[in-house]
Structure 1
Amino acid sequence: MKLKTLLTSVALAAGLATGAAADGHEKTKVGFVYVGPIGDGGWTYEHHQGLLAVEEEFGDQVETVYVESVPEGADAERVMTQMALEGADLIFTTSFGYMDPTINVAAKFPDVKFEHATGFKRADNVSTYSARFYEGRAVQGHIAGRMTESNIIGYIASFPIPEVVRGINSAYIHASRVNPDVEFKIIWVYTWFDPAKEAEAANVLIEQGADIVLQHTDSTAPQAAAQAAGGVYTFGQASDMAEFGPEPRISSIIDNWAPYYIERTQAVIDGTWVSEDTFDGIDTGMVEIGEISDVVPADVKAEALALIESMRTGEYHPFTGPLNKQDGSAWLAEGEVIGVGDLLGMNFYVEGVSGEIPQ
């Protein structure tokens, strides 16, 4: 356990009072509940960068607390409750599985503001926020489809929730459009962060012929497995993972939470916070594409940059027809764009993806 986490946990248990800012006003206390360790190199690392940005932006106007590696379930509810009891004004709960615990605790503390990442349940004191990660998957799919030599792309999937399913679909759509022979092999690991499981999945995919491995899990273990195997390319997930560049990591999806965390903290300080839903992407910078390595051929890089720009301007949506569902039934007609409701509830594969989504 990191030192700050240990001190935070002790402070929560001991019931330390919120301090006062230099101007004599009470500090705004902001809490963060993390599903993984802050050193995971991916999802939780980037959320923690958001916490650090809040500290830098507001100085002694705020006090931040966090607890890392909190399982989704009863432990999460306990941690949130303790934060609220110890004076938190705003609590960010940063994983899909925290949804019901967030709603339950928020009902008991109506004066505390809650922000839940990637969920869909709201209340008067609960906002939701997520990013259009599938835009980044479109870029990864395009690059992967153009660069694979085996025509086998591996995908390490975490949990069968819409966020993960639409990422798989987006990556496959854009890989298959530039390479109709491409095949996706998907392994579900049922974890967000477990380096051993992630490495094992990566090695299995490589043994099955994958020369490119995508992931929707949080550690750098797949990068290390690809590096050890040689001749396999990967993409950073949630964070740049640039230490594995220029290869095997040839680009990345970066989740930039800092501006959102600063904005929502400011709203609490100003008394203007209201419950809302945020779903931002490349256009606002909540989703960033990490530097594309020079290992990627210049023409492929140019194509990827053009795709990024078309999504940034709103000219292009990754789920634009014609597209069919996996069973071949018509889904989106030529030029038709998916509606937000269907996007958020996606529970099927597109045509061409093999296998079944676990229930």
Structure 2
Amino acid sequence: MNRRIMMATAAMALGLAFGGGAQAAGMDKVKACFVYVGPVGDGGWTYQHDQGRQAVIAEFGDKVDASTFQENVPEGADAERVLTQMALGGCNIIFTTSFGYMDPTNAVAAKFPNVKFEHATGYRRDSDNVSTYGARFYEGRAVIGTIAGRMTKSNKIGYIASFPIPEVIRGINSTYLHAKKVNPDVTMSVVWAYTWFDPAKEADAAKALIEQGVDVIVQHTDSTAPLAEASKTEGVIGFGQASDMKEYKPSPRVSSIIDNWSPYYIKRVGALLDGTYAQVDSWEGIGAGEVEIGEITDAVPADVKAEAEALRDAIGAGTYHPFTGPINKQDGSVWLADGVTAPDGDLLGMNFYVEGITGDIPQ
């Protein structure tokens, strides 16, 4: 099962609460294992998770064995099989790094109560040995949306989306709102690729958007293919997704959203070692360093760079929230009144476009 749309009621019930008892005693050595939805060489999502795994090794040395990982694991029955093998193989903590691993993670966790399971971008914690973690990617998309709105010459932005889940819909809305804020004439076209990692599909999506006159490409897929396609057409820019994708600097990649999982992985493995481990749900962003904005290159005008950096800093300081009203839904109904910020429950279950975005969200 791919990452399906989360129900808003379930997301609200999550409450971002801390729970579960702390680990009774520390461990002399931890075996940490990782399950990846794509290849470690994807240049994006999985690459960044694997960078976090390597950071754990660098941090703890011989106190941790973090050499076990499995890449290209489909979201479904195969994931349950892999998780079972890892649990039987002596893993003390298993990080499952894609939303579609939610059911397999909870199913296997129930069978292995002494193993800790950490599920990325999920919301269900059926057992006391399951924790969830994610990042507020929408904060980074507010920053790149500002750059996109300022730099488009055609006033046409293209967005390559993966699956119609709240995480992706939040990103589309945040990008559009902030592009529109600095450029009222901007429009956004969304292409659903129905994949996290398929360079051929991602390249085709970028090509189709460019042929429609789009000169800014934003992606929520994992490969560098959209940037490679953008590089073929003069004047088209894009952004690194999940990792810096620095090989495309200074253009078409003019900045990036970087997922920095290292602090979280180090913290959780460290908690097992020192005996402070407890079940959590974590959702951090720019302020905590889990979402980073990559270098804004000289292809971006100095005043636009300064504007984007100021927005980044305000979000990080907590003085600005990317979803602050007045904001209407696509049908014109009021979602957030003037000055009101979106509650996390609304964001975690987001299943609508904001006003101004055309097209429907696939069901």
What is the TM-score when the length of structure 1 is the normalising length? 0.92
Figure out how many residues of one structure are paired with residues of the other and give that number. Answer: 335
Gaps of 5+ in 2: 1-26
Classify the secondary structure of the residue corresponding to 2:276. Answer: coil
CA–CA distance in structure 1, aligned partners of residues 166 and 330 of structure 2: 15
2:243 corresponds to 1:239: yes
Displacement of 1:26 in angstroms is 5.8
Alignment match, 1:322: 326
Q: CA RMSD in A?
A: 0.8
Counterpart of 1:47 (choices 49, 53, 61) is: 49
CA–CA distance in structure 2, aligned partners of residues 179 and 57 of structure 1: 44
Once the two structures are superposed, what CA deviation does each residue of 1:244-266 show, in whole Å capped at 9, x if it has no partner?
Answer: 00000000000010011011001
2:222 corresponds to 1:218: yes
List structure 1 runs of 4+ shifted beyond 6 angstroms.
none
2:127 corresponds to 1:99: no
CA–CA distance in structure 1, aligned partners of residues 213 and 128 of structure 2: 50
Matches within 5 A, 1:51-66: 51-64=53-66, 65-66=68-69
Once the two structures are superposed, what CA deviation does each residue of 1:53-72 show, in whole Å capped at 9, x if it has no partner?
Answer: 11111111111210001111
CA–CA distance in structure 1, aligned partners of residues 176 and 30 of structure 2: 44
Paired letter, 2:61: G
Once the two structures are superposed, what CA deviation does each residue of 1:298-344 show, in whole Å capped at 9, x if it has no partner?
Answer: 11011001101110110000000000000000110000000010010
CA–CA distance in structure 1, aligned partners of residues 242 and 315 of structure 2: 18
Matches within 5 A, 1:10-159: 27-64=29-66, 65-122=68-125, 123-159=127-163
- The 8 Å contact of residues 76 and 104 in structure 2, kept in 1 or not, is answered as yes
Paired letter, 2:323: F
| Aligned residues with identical type, % of pairs | 69
Paired letter, 1:268: L
Matches within 5 A, 1:265-284: 265-284=269-288
Paired letter, 2:90: G
Paired letter, 2:353: Y
Classify the secondary structure of the residue corresponding to 1:228. Answer: coil
Alignment match, 1:313: 317
Paired letter, 2:352: F
Displacement of 1:229 in angstroms is 2.1
CA–CA distance in structure 2, aligned partners of residues 40 and 322 of structure 1: 38
CA–CA distance in structure 2, aligned partners of residues 113 and 229 of structure 1: 48
Gaps of 5+ in 1: 1-24
CA–CA distance in structure 2, aligned partners of residues 235 and 340 of structure 1: 26
Alignment match, 1:160: 164
Counterpart of 2:357 (choices 347, 353, 356) is: 353
Counterpart of 2:267 (choices 243, 263, 266) is: 263
Displacement of 1:268 in angstroms is 1.2
